[in-house]
Structure 1
Amino acid sequence: MALAVCLSLASMAGHTEDVRKQVVATTLITGTVQVTPEGKVHSYTLDQADKLAPAVRTLLDKNIPVWTFKRSITLPIDITERMTIRLLAAPVDDKHDRVSIIAASFDDDFHTEDARPTSLKRVQPKYPLMALDARVQGTVYTLVLVGRDGKTRKTETEQVNLRSAVPEHDQERMRNDLARAASAALQDWTWNVPTTGKYANAPGWYVRVPVRFNLQVRGAPPVKEPGLGEWEVYIPGPRLKRTSNPLPPELLVPEALAQGSDAIADGHVQAASSSVELTSPLDGG
């Protein structure tokens, strides 16, 4: 696995030392976790576990069992959550990488589709001109407030990762360019709102949506998205804190939940709140 990651990171080798120092490799792992009434892990599964590298399995098998959670469901039963885990590999030297768990998100596995907001009409973003001219690709992780009328009320960018080598002095401009384009598209999305469950009467709902910007070369094969356990190189962006939020207290999302803002697979929409909140470090310490 270390060799595969090193080869991925080598794709940035033609760029400045400052850029190479920022580059990391990442992959998403999915599965389920069963949480006891006491907030401990009863059991867990990893999707296509036999395809994961041994070092990845060792890392997850060491840490997931000792996670602890705060549950909002008081029933004395175990509950099952879908989990998405983001692993990050950063170079230690020319031959070795350090792999760590940097984010995790959880989504209730026991709710019906009409108990959570789901997308009704998706609008593809227009590629922003500045990023297009510079041939910059990236992924924007966005928090969206859905109103009771099924329209987007507000969007907040939580993180922008760049999948192209961009000089450090240009990175903020490129992230802002991609974020504005993602937000503009999400403003025109429409949503199916919850009609059953404990969230049905809420004044609004938060969901997280990753918006991916890919450049397709004319005549070339379609861009292949990374599969399970496949590593992708990028320059991680800072996790942004909301500077203003003129919303009712019942709509605010605890900052702790933002730790999983980039642990959502591309093309997926996920509720920003679930019945569990991770209360222990991701590394299990």
Structure 2
Amino acid sequence: MKKLVMGMLGVGIGLWSSGSCAEDLRQQMVASTLVTGTVLVSPDGKVHSFKVDQAEKLPAAARDLLNRNIPTWTFERNVALPVDITERMTIRLMAKAVDAHHDAISIVSASFDDDFRAADETVVPATRTEPKYPGEAVTGNVNGTVYTLIYVGRDGRTQKALAEQVNLRTAVPKKYQDQFRKDLANAATSALSSWTWRVPTSGRQAAAPGWWVRIPVVFTLSIKGKLEIKDPEYGDWDVYIPGPRLQLTLDSADQALQAQGSDAIANGTIHLADPSVKLTTSLGGS
């Protein structure tokens, strides 16, 4: 595959320093893109067929990776119907530098959502509070995305707000990264704690004691005279420093949430973390 990571370092992400520190930051960075489509799952949990949206916008290596691996997936179905069911899928592809001339591309996460779910069968926000940008992050011109996991009670209020992963879109030296990730995570979960929701009133989810939802929270600063960091369009590759996937303290009944893709969710979307199908096999190789 052509060199994606090194070729995009100057686009939308700034280096704090030069020399050996800058080289270390380059080694931490990855290029990533979100791919959407549909997958048709048969009653026995196998992939009957699939379609990738706008596949022509993806590199040949990415198309080949998807074509080789998606047909091998199997699912556990929560819908007891003797027919194929259609799921929307969102897949995160990641390219990471191997050497000065090559990247390795892999499928790192995926999420699935019912394509047929009506508005009264899911969880949607009723009132929202915008997060406050952390002061130190403003001073340091730090941009990032916080992937959150929210538990909504039957009263429509947020009962838990957790941060699963924080990716930095500014090349912060490693010794400062943890603190900035913590600041952005606290800002995101603090705001989401005050959100209220309209909860399911019909369908499979209506009788649940509560609902887990995933929401990406994007922090982006625009500074006069500097290139604004923009969300990539479909098929574009975004460069960032990925944060660790945090191991959350969850009840035993909710442990399966950690196996799902926390960052395979498009910005501006809210994902109900209990789809009709759950992937039971590996996403694929590299």
Which residue matches 2:270? Answer: 269
Letter in 2 for 1:212: V
Equivalent position of 1:154 in the other structure: 160
- Structure 1 counterpart of 2:142: 136
The 1:6/1:17 distance shift into structure 2, 3 A limit, reads closer
1:98-113 mapped onto 2 (5 Å cutoff)? 98-113=104-119
Number of the residue aligned with 1:214: 220
1:114 to 1:132, Cα distance in 2 relative to 1, 3 A: same
Distance in 1, matches of 2:184 and 2:194, equals 16
Are 2:281 and 1:280 aligned? Answer: yes
Q: 2:28 aligns with which of 22, 29, 32?
A: 22
The CA deviation string for residues 61-97 of structure 1, in whole angstroms up to 9 with x for no partner, is 1111111111112221111111000000001111211
Does structure 2 conserve the Cα–Cα contact (< 8 Å) formed by 1:64 and 1:284? no
Aligned-partner residue type, residue 207 of structure 1: V
1:50 partner amino acid: E
**CA contact 1:66–1:284 (8 Å) conserved in 2:** no
Letter in 2 for 1:267: G
Question: Residues 52 and 37 (structure 1 numbering): CA distance in 2 closer, same or farther, change over 3 Å?
Answer: same
- 1:202-281 → structure 2 map (5 Å cutoff): 202-218=208-224, 223-243=229-249, 245=250, 252-258=254-260, 260-281=261-282
C-alpha distance in 2, partners of 1:6/1:221?
A: 19
Do the aligned partners of residues 223 and 92 (structure 1) sit closer, same or farther apart at CA in structure 2, a change above 3 Å counting?
Answer: closer
Preserved CA contact (<8 Å) 1:139 1:211: yes
Please identify, of 118-127 and 191-200, the stretch whose mean Cα deviation from structure 2 is larger: 118-127
Shift of 1:219: 6.6
Distance 1:144 1:138 in 2: 19
Question: C-alpha separation between the residues in 1 aligned to 2:284 and 2:26?
Answer: 25
Query: The residue matched to 2:9 in structure 1 has which SS?
Result: helix
Please tell me whether residue 35 in structure 1 is matched to residue 35 in structure 2.
Answer: no
Identical aligned pairs, as a percentage?
A: 53
Count of aligned positions:
280
Distance in 2, matches of 1:115 and 1:222, equals: 38
Q: d(CA) in 2 for partners of 1:263 and 1:209?
A: 10
Q: CA deviation at 1:2?
A: 2.0
Contact kept? 2:35, 2:53, Cα under 8 Å: yes
Equivalent residue of 2:230, what SS? coil
Checking the alignment, whether the CA contact within 8 Å between 1:67 and 1:280 is kept in structure 2 is yes
- Give CA deviations for 1:107-131 in whole Å, capped at 9, x if unaligned: 1112111101012223221100111
Equivalent residues in 2 for 1:27-106 (5 A)? Answer: 27-106=33-112
What is the root-mean-square deviation in Å for CA atoms of aligned residues? 2.0
Partner SS state of residue 205, structure 1? strand
1:153 Cα deviation after fit: 1.1
Q: CA deviation at 1:253?
A: 4.7
Alignment of 1:121-200 (within 5 A): 121-200=127-206
State the shift of 1:255 in Å. 4.1
Match of 2:8 in 1: 8
**Structure 1 residues 3 and 17 mapped into 2: Cα distance closer, same or farther (>3 Å)?**
closer
Whichever residue aligns with residue 270 of structure 2, its letter is: V
Q: AA paired with 1:218?
A: K
Deviation digits for residues 149-168 of structure 1 (CA, Å, limit 9, x no counterpart) = 21111111111111111111
Cα displacement (A) at 1:10: 5.4
Distance 1:155 1:69 in 2: 28
Structure-2 change in CA distance of 1:76 and 1:284 (3 Å) = farther
The 1:44–1:198 alpha-carbon spacing in structure 2 relative to 1, beyond 3 Å, is same
The answer to whether the Cα contact below 8 Å between 2:221 and 2:228 also exists between their aligned partners in 1 is: no
C-alpha offsets along residues 161-211 of structure 1, whole Å, 9 cap, x if unaligned?
111111111111110000000011111222111010121121211100000
Deviations 1:255-280 (A, max 9, x none): 4533x100000110000111111111
In 2, are the aligned partners of 1:140 and 1:182 still within 8 Å (CA)? yes
Task: In structure 1, give the amino acid aligned to 2:130.
Answer: Q
